[in-house]
Amino acid sequence: MSYIEIKRMLSVPEIEYILNNILPPYEASIHNIESIFDTTGQILKDFQGSLDTKQARESTNAQVRENLVRNESLRRKDFDNMMQGILSIQDEREKEVRNLLNSYLNGQKQMAKALKNNLRKFKDSLAKGEAQRVEEFQALMKEALSKQKARKKEVIPQLKEFQKEQNVLASRLKELLAKGRELRISDFKSMLKEFKAKDKERLARREGRKKEVRHLLGKFTKEREEAAKKSVLCK
């Protein structure tokens, strides 16, 4: 049913139709957003798992350094300087992902609260038969849910990518450690080169995701503005 042609007041059958067919899906959507906080523990658990991997990596890193000190007479200070580039990138990534997760979860909480408030206002207007609130609420819900999907598309891949980076670095250090007395500086430098190349690829992927999310958010905002103009013209 389209409500663009409704000028002022809704009839009783129309109100019943909205209550039975339009409101339930929106109420379920709001509930789904709220349920995100039931899974927050798992999201943070995954993030903490990455930090645990980081601690194990630091221990392995120290052992690799001692092997190179013994095998190649490499100074510990030189090893640390060579490794600093990768570690700095990983520390920045940790801060970035932590801030992104906090921003995402806080944003979802605020969105759920705002949608519930608007739903309550909409029901009050519906009880009075105020037709214009139907399309206004539909447009608001569509934009909010679209933004929620876009934000999730930005956050989850970054968390998974961070986990993968931590696991791969820890694995590569273990491979170096397994070489024992056969470990050479050339092996270590090869690993450093590999990770620098992968970081460039990661930055390119991140910029691509940002552009995609900006495009989606801009599209949603434009659609809402057009819907609002159309609603005004039809009053």
pLDDT at residue 201 above 80? yes
- Structure confidence by residue, pLDDT tens digits, 58-107: 889 999 999 999 999 999 999 999 999 888 888 888 888 888 888 888 88
DSSP string, the chain: ---TT--SB--HHHHHHIIIIIHHHHHHHHHHHHHGGGSHHHHHHHHHHHHHHHHHHHHHHHHHHHHHHHHH---HHHHHHHHHHHHHHHHHHHHHHHHHHHHHHHHHHHHHHHHHHHHHHHHHHHHTTBTHHHHHHHHHHHHHHHHHHHHHHHHHHHHHHHHHHHHHHHHHHHHHHHTGGG--HHHHHHHHHHHHHHHHHHHHHHHHHHHHHHHHHHHHHHHHHHHHHHHHHH-
Domain count within the chain: 1
Does the residue 5 lie in any domain?
Answer: no
Structural domain of 98: 12-234
pLDDT at residue 163 above 80? yes
Least confidently predicted of 9-13, 159-163, 226-230: 226-230
pLDDT of residue 41: 55
pLDDT of residue 4: 41
pTM, to two decimals: 0.66
Provide the percentage of residues in the chain whose pLDDT is more than 90. 20
